[in-house]
Structure 1
Amino acid sequence: MMLRSCYRPLERCFGRIAGAGGDGLMWHADLKHHASGDYSIAVVQANSNLEDQSQVFTSPSATYIGVYDGHGGPEASRFVNKHLFHFMHKFSKEHGGLSADVIKKAFNATEEEFCHLVKRSLPLKPQIASVGSCCLVGAISNDVLYVANLGDSRAVLGRRVDEDKKKTVVAERLSTDHNVADEEVRKEVEALHPDDSHIVVYTRGVWRIKGIIQVSRSIGDVYLKKPEFNRDPIYQQFGNPIPLKRPVMTAEPSISRRKLRSEDLFLIFASDGLWEQLTDEAAVEIVFKNPRAVSAVFDLHVLLTLCCNSH
């Protein structure tokens, strides 16, 4: 059965309620059907300007899931929300189905189109050069799951195991975090910039690329990718010039591929607002114990849960 994609604002798709304790507005829906099972969604507006977006698109042949955690403004996450799935669907048809290469092409096309938008908008809105978005995408087709990621949103799978005749669940992380708080990510960035001893610095209590941003991959943030966008008044925003010899961020996603199995129960796609509060194991345990009321349990930033059918 074909279901419409929720490209519209979430409050119009799912309705709106006040967040717990009045901390923000939460949009939510519990267990709606998709081609491979069911999904639920929850969103809290943690900032005065909602910069995050999320969407689910389902057709008879595939299901796409996206969580886009914006920063610096909402333009990049909204742009990704509008264009990325279009490119994935287009390239999938052209190349005879989903693949890692198809997903990379879709990410690259989205990045290129957003850079064109930034260039056109720069004279009237120069700050758009510093707008970006983390981007987490899942795609399911023919019982194969692809997970693509830029930034520090995360996808985690809940898998059933039988121990001593008791059914329980374990967490399996399916995405790679691109945050320089992680030592391996710092080393990766430093290895790409051996001539820059200040490529990653510890400032304001965390590690940051050039003292500015924690994530090493994103859509947008073109002032940290293209020298021609790294100029006044961007300098004024951060106090000092940021000379670029080469891009210090990338839009190249990390992609994993996994065959879904009968013991795979559900997937959680969420921004760092959730993972800063909960471990993978704790989040999976909550979903496992509350399968019918997930969005009432999770109320941090963006969360999508996807329940898998038995295969």
Structure 2
Amino acid sequence: MLTPEQVELRLGQYQKSFRIVDQEKNKKKRGTTRLSNQDVVLGYCVNQLPSNNPIEDDLSRHVVRNQYGEIERLFFGVFDGHSGWCCSQKVARELAPSVAKELDQVRNSKDTKAVMEAIERGFMKLDQRIVHDSLKRVLEHPSRPLACSSLLPAISGSCALMAYVDLRERDLYVACTGDSRAVMGVREPLPEGGHVWRAVPLSFDQTGRNPWEVKRLQGEHPGEESTVVMRGRVLGGLEPTRAFGDARYKWSKEAQDRVFQLFPAYRQPSRNLKTPPYVTAKPVVRHHKIQPEDRFLVMATDGLWDKLTSNEVVQLVGDMLDGRTGHAEMVLDREEIRKYRQQIKAKQVASSSLVNGKPGQQIQQQQEEEEELTPHSMPAKGPTSQIRKFTYRDQANASTHLIRNALGGADDDKLAATLSIPSPMSRRHRDDITGMCALLYLY
């Protein structure tokens, strides 16, 4: 088992923190600690913990500046690869430029519908290049070396979660393809003083366990209702219903047979393959106008959400920002979480201004949107009922803080034992984990 020193080395191997806005510089420049409208994102921190060797996850950050060198656009991304790392690496490198190119064609940045459509096009065009354009090149000039070099990103796959921040408009767009997840941490003031931390979902998990996705796939493939999703997986094989690459679920059987002749390592098509494509890279895009109460955004691959709920993640980061130290125990139970959410909602209603004797329209609309994004019929990820022992010792990096608490928290022996399991046996106990926490409006 790893020693305490080895545990800290393992947890800190890939952690990084970045500051985008220098608070002291802004303070001297403006004579106040209040930030300008463009200074929406103060900074961000990231960390990764491999389970596969090499890690199949990837992440990215892209910055677009104006002619004066000021940041106008920010792109954050986490990418959960599967069947290898080739697809996630390519998507991490090329997705933001692909989306930025489409955004440049939008005439009015305040037209949220046009922006969301541009983001969708950026995703779809990149997947077209990965899956279909590469296949066309290989079939036009058949050769085994070309097939091996060109088709690896198409044969492997990757989920993609991208946050686009328009600093000029204070707009946040979250685009999700697959089962990575984005959650906003909102600091909600209470009438009697103090505050609570509220988790606002900005994506929903797109898997074969999501009844919305199952219904969509069954509608797109009439006559295949019993086979399009089996055991919570597309054609019984792939868990995410949306992903880049994964050509096995997108190419025709004839195309796959031709690839198999050039690339014998390629798996045979699924016996249930009839009317591809079954998997799409088209994202679900959510727009969110950034408010002063929005304090941080957590984006992570499913390795984190397998261990922690969205509410736990927000509470852990919120408590850390509040300066909490030491250890804490929490009984995680679905019924308790339901009661907690009802209490938070009641406090929101009480603290909101009354409009014609009813809760403020903004609060009411926000609650309805959250209910829409978190359908009660969708199975929850992560543990359902146990005592959790959390710890607050990673004040410098919220992503490290979350990974530590996901795998053991205050139970140092459990954490050390979990990190001691080598690849590939570790995959039975944990997935690759990639986390990114962006800090918003912290003043």
What TM bracket, shorter-length normalisation?
Answer: 0.7 to 0.9
Taking the TM superposition and a 5 Å limit, the aligned residue runs for 1:152-301 are: 152-163=179-190, 164-196=192-224, 197-202=226-231, 207-227=232-252, 228-231=254-257, 232=260, 237=267, 241-291=271-321, 292-293=395-396, 294-299=398-403, 301=433
* Residue 48 of structure 1, CA deviation: 1.3
Letter in 2 for 1:188: R
Kindly indicate whether the alpha-carbon contact (under 8 Å) linking 2:235 and 2:270 is maintained by their aligned counterparts in 1. Answer: no
Q: Residue 136 and residue 96 in structure 1: after superposition, are their counterparts in 2 closer, same or farther (change >3 A)? A: same
Between Structure 1 and Structure 2, which shows a larger proportion of strand residues?
A: 1
User: Which residue, out of 30, 33, 36, partners 2:20?
Assistant: 33
Is the counterpart of residue 117 in structure 1 residue 144 in structure 2?
A: no
Give the number of equivalent residue pairs: 290
TM value normalised by structure 2: 0.60
Distance (whole Å) between structure 1 residues aligned to residue 76 and residue 61 of structure 2: 5
Deviations 1:176-215 (A, max 9, x none): 211112223222222222211211112xxxx111111011
Q: Does 1:107 align with 2:123?
A: yes
Larger radius of gyration: 2
CA distance in 2, matches of 1:113, 1:106: 11
Q: Deviations over 1:262-302 (max 9, x none)?
A: 11010000000011111100000111122343133123611
1:141-182, Cα deviation, whole Å (9 max, x unpaired): 120000001000000000111223121210000012111122
Superposition map of 1:75-94 within 5 A: 75-94=86-105
Taking structure 1 as reference, are residues 165 and 105 closer, same or farther at Cα in structure 2, changes over 3 Å only? same
Residues 92 and 167 from structure 1, CA distance in 2 versus in 1: closer, same or farther, beyond 3 angstroms?
Answer: same
8 Å contact 1:50–1:74 — kept in the other structure? yes
CA RMSD, Structure 1 to Structure 2 (Å)? 2.6
Runs of 4 or more, structure 1, over 6 Å off, are: 21-25, 233-236
Instruction: List gaps (5 residues or longer) in structure 2.
Output: 22-38, 66-70, 110-114, 322-394, 404-431
| Structure 1 residue 121: Cα displacement | 5.9
In the alignment, the residues of structure 1 paired with residue 287 and residue 239 of structure 2 have an alpha-carbon distance, to the nearest angstrom, of 26
Partner in structure 1 of residue 414 of structure 2: none
* Distance in 2 between residues matched to 1:112 and 1:178, nearest whole Å: 20
Query: What TM-score do you get using the length of structure 1 for normalisation?
Result: 0.84
Query: Percent identity, aligned pairs only?
Result: 25
Moved more, 19-28 or 123-132: 19-28
SS at match of 1:61: strand
Change (3 A) 1:33 1:107: same
In structure 2, do the counterparts of structure 1 residues 182 and 162 end up closer, same or farther at CA, with 3 Å as the change threshold?
same
Q: Which deviations, in whole Å up to 9, do the C-alpha atoms of 1:239-280 show, x marking residues without a partner?
A: 853423231111111001010011101000000001111110
The question of whether the paired residues in 2 share the 8 Å contact of 1:235 and 1:242 is answered with: no
- Equivalent position SS for 1:249: coil
Q: Retained in 2: the 8 A contact 1:263–1:310?
A: no
Distance 2:264 2:116 in 1: 35
